[in-house]
Structure 1
Amino acid sequence: MAKPSFAGLFSSNRKLSDENKLTKFVFELETLKIGSDDLIDVRTRLGYYLVSYIAGKFLGLQAIRALSKSWGASFQHHDSGWLIFRFAQDGDRQRILVGGPYFVNSPPLLLKAMPEYFEFKEDDISLTLVWATLLSLPLECWHPNALGKIGSKLSTPISMDSLTMKMERVSHARILVEADASKQLVDQVDFMIPNGVMRTQPLVYEFTPKFCTNCNRFGHLERSCQSAQSPAAGAAMPAVPTATDVPFELKRGSPLSGLL
């Protein structure tokens, strides 16, 4: 029996039926407007998503699939290079989101919740999640509102960790923020407390991936960017590793893990 071709596996994809027919619309205005009734509720239809980018050379899909399986998530690879992890429950997605950073064969796996109307563009690559540690923050300031205001001075606050929420580790508070890796991160925040005293709060970031603003890629800085340097005549270009070249290794780590 002949083995079916790859194209044959999708031969039924373009068959017409009543379910996939489209309707022709007549427009009174020149501007085409897509209303809320014209949109798919992605969460209801498909579940809960995290999108990710590898901060460095992509070492193949084998390790990513293994990681996705360990999370209980399904995985898709977008043609743009973005990785998509799908979860049936939002609680599982949140658990994985705040549980990082994660590393796949050394390069960090940068995760974030998929924003509304996400277009999988390169412009979105520089936005990534980082944990910020607030050393010796007065306990009165561990309220979600206070932490949210401090986080808003950094970028976009996402959450606090569970030990901060339960006040079970009083040496420092820890918050997750979405930051633009192409910009210098704030290293301190000044704020006034109710007794009128101005306080300068130092910040330590748990993990800040290298980001090159020259090629808009993670994994290196501008001074070592290959795209900004012309290769010498006859020089061999480095080979791109595949899934079979490198045995996969899944890691989870943190430079500040001793503070947990």
Structure 2
Amino acid sequence: MNAEPTKKWANLFNSNRMSAKRMSLSYVNPVMKNGEKVIELKKEEIDKAIEEWKHALILYVVGDSPTIAAVERYIALQVNTVSKPKVYCHNDGYFLVQFVNMVDRNEVLYLGPHLLNNRPIIVKVWNPKFDFNKEVLQTVPIWVKYPNLPLNCWSMDSLSRIRSGLGEPLHADKCTMKVDRIAYAQVLIEMDVARELPKKLKVEDPNGRMFEQVVQYEWVPEYCVECMQGSTSQESGIIVHSHKEIKNEATIFYKALLGQTTSNLPSVDINIMKKRGTLNREQQLQLAGPVTREKVKLALQGISDLKAPGKDGLNAMFFKKAS
């Protein structure tokens, strides 16, 4: 009796979706080092993957969890990209945005400060050693203003020296680079928020004259030095650290702000209602009439520009302009 040929598990997947897209994998022998199995990666393979992601940015919306669609709309409103970027959402709460070219990437990177639904957005260039907890929660790019900075200090070299006193200088905004605004210089600096951020810098000019330059921060995240992570504080003053505690604290805050539902509504006194004014027939028909474009536009104009009526984070100003 002839024995049946041995079947390999790999043969079961020869025609599956992965193989059809030419993503099949092959077996590569690991190496043994000091009695342990070690997987060796090749430099050319890693370099090829890095090249594919060199146009990517990391986006993190502080205090909010927008959808991918909301991030895509935000980017589309900020810049006119050659091609629509691909947005990925990571489980840690940040977004990876892959642009087609470096020009589109830098346009978003240099545009800041960024706000989505009135929440600051941390924007960082992706790199192979990126660690969300270390780089986003502790080392944060912050827009810094130098009000009344002497005009003879506005060269890129002098600005680089001054902003290096705070952290790793990244770039200046467009108005500062073109000197379109002289009230203050604004630069983006990568800073360690676990340390106390200085409010003044001592600067010495070539003649030996010393002056103090005031420093203003566009936004500074709260950070707990003890546990080395982002934090918030309760009304009682107790600092909470974990994501679950922070989420619970935010829920309590907004419930108190917006009110809670109740199952025991006060009864309506019909006699009191009868004494009040009533709608005439014309007003009743108007109230029950169709919702027209003019009515929606009129209601929209009554909403504050910075209010966001939906969960996508788009504020009323966007809809006013679009209409």
Q: TM-score, normalised by structure 1?
A: 0.72
Once the two structures are TM-superposed, the CA of residue 212 in structure 1 deviates from its matched residue by 4.7
Distance 2:47 2:21 in 1: 21
1:257 is aligned to none
- Do structure 1's residue 206 and structure 2's residue 214 form an aligned pair? no
Which of the residues 9, 13, 16 maps onto 2:18? 13
Once the two structures are TM-superposed, the CA of residue 178 in structure 1 deviates from its matched residue by 1.1
- Do structure 1's residue 247 and structure 2's residue 299 form an aligned pair? no
Kindly indicate whether the alpha-carbon contact (under 8 Å) linking 2:75 and 2:108 is maintained by their aligned counterparts in 1: no
Worse-matched range after superposition: 184-193 or 29-38: 29-38
2:189 is aligned to 177
2:151 is aligned to 139
Q: Deviations over 1:109-153 (max 9, x none)?
A: 22111134214x322222222111112222222222211111111
- The one-letter code sitting in structure 1 at the alignment partner of 2:106 is Q
Aligned length: 231
Unaligned runs of 5+ in 1: 1-10, 252-260
- Do structure 1's residue 167 and structure 2's residue 174 form an aligned pair? no
Match of 2:157, SS? Answer: helix
- Do structure 1's residue 100 and structure 2's residue 112 form an aligned pair? yes
1:255 is aligned to none
2:56 is aligned to 49
- The one-letter code sitting in structure 2 at the alignment partner of 1:122 is N
1:254 is aligned to none
Once the two structures are TM-superposed, the CA of residue 194 in structure 1 deviates from its matched residue by 0.8
- Do structure 1's residue 64 and structure 2's residue 71 form an aligned pair? yes
Worse-matched range after superposition: 16-25 or 202-211: 16-25
Which of the residues 214, 217, 230 maps onto 2:230? 217
Match of 2:18, SS? Answer: coil
Distance 1:89 1:237 in 2: 38
Match of 2:188, SS? Answer: strand
Kindly indicate whether the alpha-carbon contact (under 8 Å) linking 1:130 and 1:179 is maintained by their aligned counterparts in 2: yes
1:3 is aligned to none
Distance 1:185 1:201 in 2: 14
Tell me: CA distance 1:150–1:22, structure 2 relative to 1, closer, same or farther (3 Å): farther
Match of 1:176, SS? Answer: strand
Once the two structures are TM-superposed, the CA of residue 163 in structure 1 deviates from its matched residue by 2.1
Query: Whose radius of gyration is greater, 1 or 2?
Result: 2
Worse-matched range after superposition: 172-181 or 99-108: 99-108
Match of 1:39, SS? Answer: helix
Identity among equivalent pairs (%): 21
Once the two structures are TM-superposed, the CA of residue 227 in structure 1 deviates from its matched residue by 4.7
1:127 is aligned to 139
Q: TM-score, normalised by structure 2?
A: 0.59
Kindly indicate whether the alpha-carbon contact (under 8 Å) linking 2:57 and 2:96 is maintained by their aligned counterparts in 1: yes
Which one scores higher on RCO, CA 8 angstroms, separation ≥ 6?
1
Once the two structures are TM-superposed, the CA of residue 53 in structure 1 deviates from its matched residue by 1.8
- The one-letter code sitting in structure 2 at the alignment partner of 1:23 is V
- Do structure 1's residue 83 and structure 2's residue 95 form an aligned pair? yes
Kindly indicate whether the alpha-carbon contact (under 8 Å) linking 1:148 and 1:157 is maintained by their aligned counterparts in 2: yes
Tell me: CA distance 1:166–1:64, structure 2 relative to 1, closer, same or farther (3 Å): closer
Distance 1:163 1:15 in 2: 51
- The one-letter code sitting in structure 1 at the alignment partner of 2:18 is N
Structure having the higher helix fraction is 2
Which of the residues 40, 47, 66 maps onto 2:47? 40
Worse-matched range after superposition: 142-151 or 160-169: 160-169
